[in-house]
Amino acid sequence: MERIKRAIIRIAVTPDNRLSDLPLTHRSLLPLLSVASSLFSLSLSLRRALYQYRLFSPHRLPVPVISVGNITWGGTGKTPMVEYISRFFDQAGISPLILTRGYEGGDEAKMLERHLFGTSAKIGLGKNRAEVAASIIKKFGHANLPSLLVGEKSEMNSKNEKVGVVILDDGMQHWSLSRQVEIVMINGLVPWGNGHLIPRGPLREPLSALNRADVIVIHHGNLVCEAQLKSIESTILRICSKKHLIYFSELVPSHFFEIKDPNEKLPLNTVHDFAVLCVSAIGCPDSFIKAITEIGALNIHRLDFSDHHSVQSDDIKLIKDKIRNLALVYNNKAAIIVTEKDYDRDPAVLQKLGEFKVLVLCSSFRIMPLKSKGEVSFKAKLKELILKKCSYKTNL
């Protein structure tokens, strides 16, 4: 199954005019994938029509909902953006509720729980997110977010747990829940792949769906050349006039920690004299490799699994074989590096690698100060959109 997933991923990032570069085994999958994509497109159109013609009605919550989603699979920075927005509201004295479906292993939810520990953020996990939200809001109650945003201090200063805003993780295609703000994340390294719908390509919807976005954020902007960023912007502007609503984001490496001691922060230069084996099961492993390259490891090797892959016994054996070989070549100056998402998926499994040096790369999300727009502009835009969508009159 893992081999098939890797083959599909490679096909998805290969343009149609380069299909001859693919192995015969990969090309043999194309007819089946094309049929599956056509069926997916049909089901997508039917589902969208059911909502458009009000045969299905989205559930409305008593507080504003901000959807953070994407138009392609994985690696777009959705979860870091969800955390970033949650911290923004928490620091403003507003308790956010994060709704996440929870994928295999629940890695994203676990990472959010760990990062947001000690804040007022609440995390609701479950496929039926409207039901989960209703249950949590019933328990804690809800606050008037627009009044908090315009600074009604009496409610803002009261220390209560009322939910003021809901943040819908991976929400762009979750049409059963009404939202006031739609944020769409785009992977700057591989924005559209081969341009086909799943599973023939990485698109979860046609590019025309970008018209629904209130804000578009191009992620990994620091790892992409200026020409590539301009190309992505041009594509967006051909589809919708969102130039003033396009932002750029990045993950900035901050430190490492060893799985033996998660509380100790190690500087990034820890790996300067090491050959490293980067092991990941994330949506965009290339961004991980580029980050480690910029940090300056002595020599870099990689082992990629499909997104959300749970490491098995055979995988542990493969990792051990590879790191032992590196240790022989580099005089025991070898280490394994994983992402936080991979760590949170199952820390206990990684403990089986305890005889080796296993480091976890920690990074912080930020809105890049590009084209006269940065964090201040982004937060002001988010606030403006909520007040506008909530039809709340203010002098802002």
CA distance 136 to 138: 5
CA distance 307 to 136: 29
Residues 33/10, Cβ–Cβ less than 8 Å: no
Pick the CATH number of 253-364 from 2.60.40, 3.40.50, 3.30.2300, 3.30.310: 3.40.50
Residues 6+ apart with CB under 8 A from 272: 296, 297, 298
Q: Please give the distance of CA 263 from its chain centroid, rounded to a whole number.
A: 24
Residue 256 neighbours by CB distance under 10 Å: 21
261-266 and 246-258 strand pairing: antiparallel
Structure tokens at 247: 């932002």
pLDDT along the chain (396 residues), means of 10: 86 93 94 97 94 91 96 92 96 93 75 93 93 95 78 50 94 94 96 96 96 95 94 93 86 95 94 96 93 94 91 92 95 95 89 93 95 90 88 40
Residues 93/150, Cβ–Cβ less than 8 Å: no
Amino acid making up residue 393:
K
- For 65-251+369-389, CATH gives 3.40.50.300
Return the domain boundaries, the chain.
Answer: 2-52, 65-251+369-389, 253-364
CA distance 93 to 307: 35
Structure tokens at 33: 């994938």
Instruction: Identify the pLDDT of residue 387.
Output: 87
Instruction: Identify the pLDDT of residue 231.
Output: 95
Structure tokens at 174: 């979750």
Same topology, domains 65-251+369-389 and 253-364? Answer is yes
CA distance 141 to 194: 46
Instruction: Identify the pLDDT of residue 6.
Output: 85
Residues 179/67, Cβ–Cβ less than 8 Å: yes
